[in-house]
Amino acid sequence: MQASGAMTPVSGVRGTSRNPYAGDPDFMASLARGLEVLRAFDDSPQGVSIAQLSVRTGIPRAAVRRCLYTLGTLGYVTSQQRSFSLTPKMLLLGHAYLSSTTLVAKAQPLLDDVCQTLQESCSLSILDGQNIVYVARSASRRILSVTLHVGSRLPAYCTSLGQALLSSLSEEELNAYCRGVRWHAYTAHTLASEAALRSRLELVRRQQFALVDGELEVGLRSVAVAVRGASGAVVAAMNASAQSQRVPTSELRERFLPLLRERATELSLLLRD
């Protein structure tokens, strides 16, 4: 399974009755549309068409065409025949975030240590809407079928990182999250309902870690813990993942979890400096 850049259209950009920015003279609808078009690109080597982007965003084709023309003129998008792709210049936007946040800089050496010790991949993610976003990662040489990298987005409800982050939300925040989720059973083990997720989150809160076994992809299991910032609030989650045929859940609990907790605590202390 590959992480995709496809996203759920943001209401309020297209001038609907649900528009929370209607009447706001400072809100730039054209900029919002351009950003929404950028977020709708995926990792397809063939690129995407105006029609596909229009369907994914709910933005009329004519408006999508204007967005792409502007983005192309600025060098963020390239086209070949009727297909459009992002250019390497897009990396400048992500680099600006990664280089400006102390979270990533302070987390990377700790992730590398976990990866080297366990010989398994270790990641740091934050919650963004209904998804988790990987902001730092240290990958082992072992090959997993899931392709992940910094910037990858995955559904929060069926990932250990997501469940660790969701468990810290207030009841109001969790209600809002559940209203926006498009539940999908990726495997027979996926918690594809609000009731199932809420039950799991109660367990995560009690034990202070999230363990997912084949909920996103069969054969892939992981364990995650929350990372708290200077204020004490959860700002990220850290996990380690492995193939189920190689690492039993007991090893995740007995060997992976203690190390993750140590490094997450260390990161929390570093964020207070």
HEC string for the chain = CECCCCCCCCCCCCCCCCCCCCCCCCCCHHHHHHHHHHHCCCCCCCCECHHHHHHHHCCCHHHHHHHHHHHHHHCCEEEECCEEEECHHHHHHHHHHHHHCHHHHHHHHHHHHHHHHHCCEEEEEEEECCEEEEEEEECCCCCCCCECCCCCEEECCCCHHHHHHHCCCCHHHHHHHHHHCCCCCCCCCCCCCHHHHHHHHHHHHHHCCEEEECCCCCCEEEEEEEEECCCCCEEEEEEEEEECCCCCHHHHHHHHHHHHHHHHHHHHHHHCC
Span 197-213, mean pLDDT?
97
How many domains would you assign to the chain?
2
Residue 110 sits in the same domain as residue 129: yes
Residue 78 sits in the same domain as residue 116: no
Residue 41 sits in the same domain as residue 157: no
Residue 105 sits in the same domain as residue 219: yes
Span 25-49, mean pLDDT?
85
Residue 32 placed within a domain? yes
Span 112-141, mean pLDDT?
92
Residue 251 placed within a domain? yes
pLDDT at residue 145, rounded to an integer: 54
Residues 6+ apart with CB under 8 A from 84: 41, 47, 48, 49, 50, 53, 68, 72, 77, 78
pLDDT at residue 6, rounded to an integer: 38
Domain boundary among 63, 90, 117: 90
Residue 208 sits in the same domain as residue 184: yes
Digit-coded pLDDT (tens) for 206-220: 999 999 999 999 999
pLDDT > 90? residue 248: yes
pLDDT > 80? residue 189: yes
Residue 238 sits in the same domain as residue 118: yes
Instruction: Identify the domain containing residue 121 by its residue range.
Output: 101-271
The tokens describing 139, both together, are 């990958």
Residue 244 sits in the same domain as residue 170: yes
| More confident call, 210 vs 89 | 210
CATH number of the domain at 193, please: 3.30.450.40
Residue 95 placed within a domain? no
Instruction: Band the pLDDT of 141: cuts 50, 70, 90.
Output: low
Residue 5 placed within a domain? yes
Span 223-240, mean pLDDT?
95
Please tell me which of 44-48, 99-103, 230-234 the model is most confident about, judged by mean pLDDT.
Answer: 230-234
Please state which of the ranges 72-86, 94-108, 184-198 shows the lowest mean pLDDT. 94-108
Residue 96 placed within a domain? no
Residue 244 placed within a domain? yes
Domain boundary among 69, 90, 111: 90
pLDDT > 90? residue 101: no
Span 237-265, mean pLDDT?
96
Digit-coded pLDDT (tens) for 161-184: 999 999 999 999 999 999 999 999
236: left (phi over 0), alpha (psi -120 to 50) or beta: beta
How many Cβ atoms from other residues are within 10 Å of residue 115's Cβ? Answer: 19
pTM reported for the whole predicted model? 0.72
Average confidence score pLDDT of the chain = 86
Residue 205 placed within a domain? yes
| More confident call, 215 vs 86 | 215
Span 38-59, mean pLDDT?
86
Q: What are the residues facing 147 on neighbouring strands?
A: 2
pLDDT at residue 96, rounded to an integer: 63
Domain boundary among 56, 90, 124: 90
Residue 141 sits in the same domain as residue 220: yes
The tokens describing 16, both together, are 């609907």
The tokens describing 272, both together, are 């207070």
| More confident call, 94 vs 19 | 94
pLDDT at residue 8, rounded to an integer: 41
